[in-house]
Amino acid sequence: MKNENFYPKVTTNTLLEMKNNGEKISMLTAYDFTFAKIIDDANIDVILVGDSASNVIAGNETTLPITLDEMIYHAKSVVKGVNRALVVVDLPFGSYQSDPKKALRSAIRIMKESGAHAVKLEGGQEVIQSIERIIKAGIPVMGHLGLTPQSIYKFGTYSVRAKEEKEAKQLLSDAKALEDAGCFATVLEKIPSKLAKKVTKLSSVPLIGIGAGNQVDGQVLVLHDLLGLTHEFNPRFLRRYLDLNKTVKNAVSNYINDVKNLDFPNENEMY
């Protein structure tokens, strides 16, 4: 491991400094105050209020249904729990694709109403004008290339992207376009590690991978997956650090038994 510096407050400049020092960036999702506070206390570098809230919090099959108001609600709760991490919020599907003015309005609402530090949006050259408009207004933007879940109905599956040369070339040129437009970092999701390594070498801004191998500048995972709260989702890139699904079920079963057997509350738990 590289000699780690401790950054009391993480900014977009910190991430660049970390890339230039060869220090890996850690990033996780959070959608509420309690988990945001726990992972911030653990010194996570970046907290993403991801539109994966649509799946793991709202129970939707895709990220498409979540609204801008719902993202702002999650982001507001997260920001209240954070002292150190950089908080990035996903612009949800439909809030930025139609035109740059709408994209800017959506980004401004997120920044103003939640107190977050940056926004993230999916796509390459097709959304460059929106990215430029948002950055011009002083709002930092994180890009997202490779598997972009808001386009799931175009892809048809959640399988690895950019395996073919044509798509790999497109991804390389999209990464460059995002960097030139001023994105402070980009997420690379589910692409071959060889390609991720190549893009990362060519990029002067941090590239953060999920299912993109270990030659990128940092890693991001969905917190609920890492904690083993979700069980249905089992991609190869996912490392579960806990089986909280089982732990929570056991705790709840014990509680139910105690209630049924008049074991809870006991003498010490009453007034």
Q: Is 217 in the site for ligand KIV (CB under 6 A)?
A: no
- List the one residue from 145, 187, 199, 212 that touches ligand KIV (CB under 6 A): 187
- Binding piece for ligand KIV, criterion CB under 6 A, among 48-56, 71-79, 96-104, 124-132: 48-56
Q: Which residue is nearest to ligand KIV (CB)?
A: 50
| Long-range interactions of 162-167: CB distance < 8 A, separation 24+ | 162/191, 162/192, 162/195, 163/192
Helices (H) and strands (E) counted in the chain, each on its own, are: 11, 8
- List the one residue from 23, 40, 90, 174 that touches ligand KIV (CB under 6 A): 90
What is the DSSP track for 144-207? EEES-GGGHHHH-S-PPP--SHHHHHHHHHHHHHHHHHT-SEEEEES--HHHHHHHHHH-SS-E
- List the one residue from 72, 82, 175, 210 that touches ligand KIV (CB under 6 A): 210
Say how far apart CA 72 and CA 110 lie, in whole Å.
6
Which residue, 177 or 222, is less far from ligand KIV as judged by CB? 222
- List the one residue from 26, 52, 114, 219 that touches ligand KIV (CB under 6 A): 52
Number of residues interacting with ligand KIV: please give it, by CB under 6 A.
11
Sign of CA dihedral 180, 185, 188, 189: negative
Catalytic one of 189, 232, 267, 269: 189
- List the one residue from 72, 104, 222, 226 that touches ligand KIV (CB under 6 A): 222
Q: Least distance in Å: CB of 142 to ligand KIV? A: 9
Q: Is 85 in the site for ligand KIV (CB under 6 A)?
A: no
* Burial class, 126, CB count within 10 angstroms (exposed 0-12 / middle 13-18 / buried 19+): exposed
Q: Is 29 in the site for ligand KIV (CB under 6 A)?
A: yes
Say how far apart CA 53 and CA 49 lie, in whole Å.
8
Q: Is 220 in the site for ligand KIV (CB under 6 A)?
A: yes
- Binding piece for ligand KIV, criterion CB under 6 A, among 38-46, 49-57, 126-134, 171-179: 49-57
Which residue, 134 or 166, is less far from ligand KIV as judged by CB? 134
Helix axes 100-114, 128-136, angle to 10 degrees: 50
Q: Which of 150, 144, 146, 116 is nearest to 131 (CA)?
A: 144
Query: Could you tell me what percentage of the chain is helix, strand and coil, using 3-state DSSP and rounding each to the nearest 5?
Result: 45, 15, 40
- Binding piece for ligand KIV, criterion CB under 6 A, among 45-53, 92-100, 130-138, 178-186: 45-53
Task: Give me the active site residues, please.
Answer: 189
Q: Which residues bind ligand KIV (CB under 6 A)?
A: 29, 48, 50-52, 90, 187, 189, 210, 220, 222
